[in-house]
Amino acid sequence: MTKRFSVLTGGLLLAASLGAQASNTPDQSHLTNTVDKTIHSLMQEYDIPGMAIAVTFRGQHFFYQYGDASKENNTPVTKETIFELGSVSKTFTASLISWAQVTGAISLSDKASQHFQPIAGSAFDNISLLNIATYTAGGLPLQFPDEIDSKSKMVNWYQHWQPKYAPGTYRQYSNPSIGLAGYIAAQRLGKPYSMLVANQILSPLGLHHARFNVPEQDMKNYAWGYSKENKPIRVTPGVLDEEATA
């Protein structure tokens, strides 16, 4: 969460710097200096190994790369570097849910258990698809408990979960919440979630390099994350990881 916040902070600082110059169109060297100063400071403060930055200013697009994608191999960040999208992918989940509504596969006013029979008879009999898609189910947690590592355990957990708040009255950011909404939408559309997103969202938008799995031949371009012990790590797969992607 800290590193995600730091990237957002960097973007805001950069926007503020450029906004202050809006009355005077900066040449590219001035823009580059502004970006360099902001990003170098950010990377140093939060120990970020590498970043790729895109800036759109007055209709022009500028791209900048900093640091390493892999410390071990001293692989620099380039335009070809592959980054994990993380929770940015929730926009794809929301788009798929909306598409399921538009095509009549679901209605957002339907109760969640109506479309996922294994949780019928649970609290989700009174919680709508809109509630779980907008984090207002009543206090679903940020993540599943660590021991929930299979679909059967996930179903059992949903069956026994009890809301702290009345549905629709309290918003709490939650991967199990929007993840369930995405899962149900895909189930009702009759195809795997990853296939639906690839065919209905990524391909029409021309996002041909956005994928759920990195092919082995492209791992050379992968941007590694690092643990507190400075060991290379990847995003850990889990239940509903495609639909929620923390």
pLDDT tens-digit readout, 109-141 = 999 999 999 999 999 999 999 999 999 999 999
Pairing of strands 225-226, 75-76: unpaired
> What span, in angstroms and rounded, lies between the C-alpha atoms of 79 and 66?
10
Residue 138 in tokens:
């009543």
Instruction: State yes or no: is 135 an active-site residue.
Output: no
Residue 73 in tokens:
């191999």
Residue 81 in tokens:
């570097």
DSSP, collapsed to helix, strand or coil, labels residue 175 as helix
Residue ranges per structural domain of the chain: 2-81, 89-202
CATH topology classification for 89-202? Beta-lactamase (3.40.710)
Instruction: State yes or no: is 173 an active-site residue.
Output: yes
Reported as a single tens digit per residue, the pLDDT across 167-215 is 999 999 999 999 999 999 999 999 999 999 999 999 999 998 898 889 9
If one compares 77 and 208, the residue with the highest pLDDT of the two is: 77
Lowest-pLDDT range, 7-16, 40-49, 211-220? 7-16
Which residue among the candidates 109, 152, 173, 203 is catalytic per the annotation? 173
If one compares 55 and 246, the residue with the highest pLDDT of the two is: 55
Q: CA dihedral in degrees (198, 203, 209, 214; nearest 10)?
A: 20
Answer whether 0.85 is exceeded by the pTM.
Answer: no
Which residue among the candidates 17, 87, 98, 194 is catalytic per the annotation? 87
pLDDT computed for residue 5 by the predictor = 37
pLDDT computed for residue 104 by the predictor = 97
Backbone angles phi, psi at 80, to 5 degrees: -95, -5
Would you say 136 and 168 are in contact if contact means Cβ atoms under 8 Å apart?
yes
